[in-house]
Amino acid sequence: QDNRISIWSAGDLGNAGLNGEYHGEPRLLCDIQHNGDVMDMQFLDQERLVVASSTGTVTIFRHHQNNQTLSANHRWEKAHYHVDQDTSCGGAACTGVVCSNPEIVTVGEDGRINLFRADQKDAVRTIDNADSSTLHAVTFLRTTEILTVNSIGQLKIWDLRQQRNEPSQIFSLAGDRVPLHCVDRHPNQQHIVATGGQDGMLSIWDIRQGTMPVSLLNAHEAEMWEVHFHPSNPDHLFTCSEDGSLWHWDTSINVSEKPSFLHPGGRSTAYLSHSTINQSVVSAWLSNDPTKDRMEITNLIPNQTLSVNSLDVLGPCLVYGTDAEAIYVNRQLFA
């Protein structure tokens, strides 16, 4: 009922022990009330945070670092709505937000896409009937193009320079219309995209070719809620799920170094496609010859039972939140 946005300090790395382990508790710096469930959020810059609400409203909060307070900096009321913006109960959940300062793109249950600018009162652009089903997530492909995923298993590319309100490309999972919940693009090779959805499968797409995924990888036993390439080390990918697992997918493995048996600690090595072309040219994510290479998959929280709802990753740090109402920070991803 009572929701809040909180800013935490996960502590000073200067306090780390000899082995890099961190001593000290995360500190709550400040928090502020939020109307509706928080569906998604992303920093716009060092001080501002964009938050998507289940009420359909999108808010920019400012973090004042001098006195550690949060304030609502700007609000787009009912950016997403079902009937019309004026009905009191007409709001539709804003399910996803992505920022490329000063631009902010939002998607929602109403199938709408909004393009906002941080300094402008009204939307720069709205695609009203972008989708006939719920849009679950959005990310930037390039500065002028976005990717969305929807509840009938489609991945769509939108060119924001085009005035027409149709996607420039549509990709879809073959056969079953499995809802897709999350999407991320490879940080260096922008044609490689990963998505996850209701069946827990990880799909890898090459948007230069075909309209179907280049590989479908068996992953979780329930909905996949989030997928992230490591921003500076994209041979590593992270996914989390309703089934309580958080998987680290590592394609940087050199076959000669790794024996192909089950490792202690719940690690397993899955054979994965690969092509014979030079590794630096073709990403391991787009491979197609299972005998050539493999991938190591580790469940980073083997005994967790409650849903892992969200994750983010930066440098050696992984942060994730679960239905236990807890936030976890792992500082030794590559230890």
Query: What single string gives the DSSP state of each residue in 169-210?
Result: EEEE-SSS-PPEEEEEE-SS-TTEEEEEETT--EEEEETTS-
For residue 164, what are the domain limits? 35-172
Q: Is residue 267 part of a domain?
A: no
Distances (CA, A) of 1 to 31, 37, 38, 49, 70: 16, 8, 11, 22, 20
Under a CB-based contact definition with an 8 Å cutoff, are residues 275 and 263 in contact? no
pLDDT tens per residue across span 154-165: 999 999 999 989
Write out the two tokens for 145.
Answer: 């193009």
Contact 250, 297 (CB under 8 A): yes
Residue 65 within a domain: yes
Query: Does residue 34 contact residue 5 with C-beta atoms inside 8 Å?
Result: yes
Instruction: Decide which of 200 and 273 is more confident.
Output: 200
Of 79, 33, 80, 72, the residue nearest 50 (C-alpha): 72
In a domain, 234, yes or no: yes
Examine residue 93 and state whether it is found in any structural domain, yes or no: yes
Alpha-carbon distances of 129 from 164, 165, 212, 318, rounded to whole Å: 11, 8, 24, 36
Number of C-alpha atoms within 13 angstroms, CB side, residue 300?
A: 24
**Are 125 and 216 within one domain?**
no
pLDDT per position as a tens digit, 16-26:
555 555 566 78
Q: What is the mean pLDDT of residues 268-288?
A: 48
Res 281 pLDDT > 50: no
* Mean of the per-residue pLDDT values of the chain: 86
Compute CA distances 311 → 23, 40, 334, whole Å: 22, 11, 16
**Cα 167 versus chain centre, distance:** 21
Q: Are residues 155 and 39 in the same domain?
A: yes
> 12 pLDDT exceeds 70?
no
223 and 118 within one domain: no
Structurally, how many domains does the chain consist of? 2
Token representation of residue 274: 């690969």
User: Can you give the pLDDT at residue 264?
Assistant: 35
Last residue of one domain, picked from the residues 110, 144, 172: 172
pLDDT tens by residue, 122-140: 999 999 999 999 999 999 9
Q: Token pair 């716009």 is at which residue? A: 44
Here the CATH number for the domain that contains residue 202 is 2.130.10.10
Q: How far apart are CA 271 and CA 235, in angstroms?
A: 15
The pLDDT value recorded for residue 314 is 92
Give the predicted TM-score (pTM) of the model.
Answer: 0.86
